[in-house]
């Protein structure tokens, strides 16, 4: 049993190293923007590898390593997408494949370590989102992705959290009931969806209100000020709708999942 645990830890550390290598390969090739924040997240992946290598001697490091390994590549993906002007820029000039490889290796690494299902769900959600955006680009649906996912950080946050819940629900459907910590994660993220929608509403209204001085400053409002006003109001209503629809979808999927305990 001890040798099996050791082999699992070694395999997880190697996969974690592959995750870091995928990220830094994209960084070195100029496919991932070399910003300070992304560099910190890439360094977090390297730290996760080192913690996994040390986890055999110092117990308790696996949880920290799993958190870093699950969050860092997913956060890097969100930073890249939030800073892109659209899906064409993210999947074309920048290309998502280094981050997809990093997320895939992170998911495999975390699947080898017991009790880290909650940490794995962050990387799994990023992998689902990245794969969906890649398919959208290949199928010519970039306009749809730009409209409903990449229009604002609020849209992107709702899409990521929805992918997180759906990916966790898919794992439950395939592998069985969730552990207590994963169940709490799913419940919390499901409740977060409409709240993110309302937060996007407030943000959109704030953007719209900021354009009012420019509109009333002249007799004939400028086209740019009117576009800012309408764009802010559009974001406000869209994020509310998107958050509520995402909450409805994950609630329906939850109803279709099998009960945690079979009826007597």
Q: Which of 74, 191, 43, 60 is nearest to 116 (CA)?
A: 60
Counting the structural domains of the chain, the total is 2
pLDDT digits (tens, 9 = 90+) for 201-222: 887 777 777 766 666 666 566 6
Q: Which of 138, 115, 101, 134 is nearest to 25 (CA)?
A: 101
- Asked if the structure places residue 136 within a domain, the reply is no
Among the listed ranges 4-8, 113-117, 123-127, 250-254, which one has the minimum average pLDDT value? 4-8
Same domain, 211 and 117: no
Same domain, 206 and 247: yes
Same domain, 113 and 155: no
Q: Which residue has the higher pLDDT, 4 or 62?
A: 62
Q: What mean pLDDT comes out for the span 27-53?
A: 91
Same domain, 114 and 197: no
256 contacts: CB under 8 Å, gap ≥ 6: none
Alpha helix (H) residue ranges in 91-179: 97-111, 117-138, 142-148, 153-175
Same domain, 23 and 116: yes
Question: Structure pTM?
Answer: 0.87
Same domain, 2 and 102: yes
Q: Which of 90, 99, 92, 110 is nearest to 23 (CA)?
A: 99
Same domain, 194 and 244: yes
- Asked if the structure places residue 128 within a domain, the reply is no
What is the distance between the alpha carbons of residues 59 and 46, in angstroms, rounded to a whole number?
19
What is the distance between the alpha carbons of residues 41 and 53, in angstroms, rounded to a whole number?
19
Q: Is the pLDDT of residue 244 over 70?
A: yes
- Asked if the structure places residue 145 within a domain, the reply is no
Owning domain of residue 14: 1-122
Do 211 and 229 form a contact (C-beta atoms < 8 A)? yes
Output the pLDDT for position 123.
93
Same domain, 211 and 100: no
Average pLDDT, the chain: 84
Which contacts qualify for 24-28: CB closer than 8 Å, 24 or more apart? 25/98, 26/95, 26/97, 26/98, 26/99, 26/102, 27/98
Q: Which of 141, 49, 25, 123 is nearest to 86 (CA)?
A: 141
Of 85, 103, 122, which residue constitutes the final position of a domain? 122
What is the distance between the alpha carbons of residues 245 and 251, in angstroms, rounded to a whole number?
10
Same domain, 118 and 163: no
- Asked if the structure places residue 139 within a domain, the reply is no
- Asked if the structure places residue 87 within a domain, the reply is yes
Q: What is the band of 191 on the pLDDT scale with cuts at 50, 70, 90?
A: very high
Q: What is the band of 263 on the pLDDT scale with cuts at 50, 70, 90?
A: very low
- Per DSSP, 93 falls in state I
Neighbours of 205 (CB within 10 A): 15
Same domain, 186 and 109: no
- Asked if the structure places residue 127 within a domain, the reply is no
- Asked if the structure places residue 252 within a domain, the reply is yes
For Cα atoms 110, 114, 116, give the angle at the middle one, nearest 5 degrees: 50
- Asked if the structure places residue 229 within a domain, the reply is yes
% the chain with pLDDT above 70: 85
Same domain, 51 and 159: no
Do 178 and 117 form a contact (C-beta atoms < 8 A)? yes
Same domain, 161 and 211: yes
């Amino acid at each position: 049993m001890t040798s099996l645990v050791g082999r699992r830890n070694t395999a997880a550390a190697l996969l974690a190293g592959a995750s870091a290598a995928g990220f830094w390969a994209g960084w070195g090739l100029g496919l991932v923007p070399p910003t300070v924040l992304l560099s910190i997240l890439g360094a977090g992946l390297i730290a996760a590898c080192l913690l996994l290598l040390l986890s055999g001697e110092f117990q308790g490091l696996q949880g920290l390593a799993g958190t870093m390994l699950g969050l860092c590549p997913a956060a890097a993906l969100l930073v890249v997408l939030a800073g892109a002007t659209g899906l064409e820029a993210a999947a074309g000039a920048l290309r998502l494949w280094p981050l997809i490889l990093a997320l895939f290796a992170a998911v495999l690494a975390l699947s080898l370590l017991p009790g880290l299902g909650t940490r794995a769900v962050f990387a799994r959600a990023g992998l689902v989102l990245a794969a969906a955006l890649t398919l959208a680009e290949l199928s010519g649906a970039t306009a749809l992705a730009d409209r409903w996912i990449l229009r604002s950080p609020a849209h992107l946050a709702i899409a990521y959290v929805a992918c997180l819940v759906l990916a966790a629900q898919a794992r439950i459907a395939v592998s069985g009931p969730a552990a207590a910590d994963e169940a709490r994660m799913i419940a919390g993220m499901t409740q977060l969806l409409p709240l993110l929608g309302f937060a996007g509403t407030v943000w959109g209204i704030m953007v719209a209100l900021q354009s009012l001085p420019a509109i009333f400053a002249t007799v004939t409002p400028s086209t740019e000020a009117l576009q800012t006003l309408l764009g802010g109001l559009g974001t406000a209503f869209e994020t509310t709708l998107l958050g509520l629809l995402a909450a409805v979808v994950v609630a329906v999927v939850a109803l279709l999942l099998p009960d945690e305990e079979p009826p007597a």
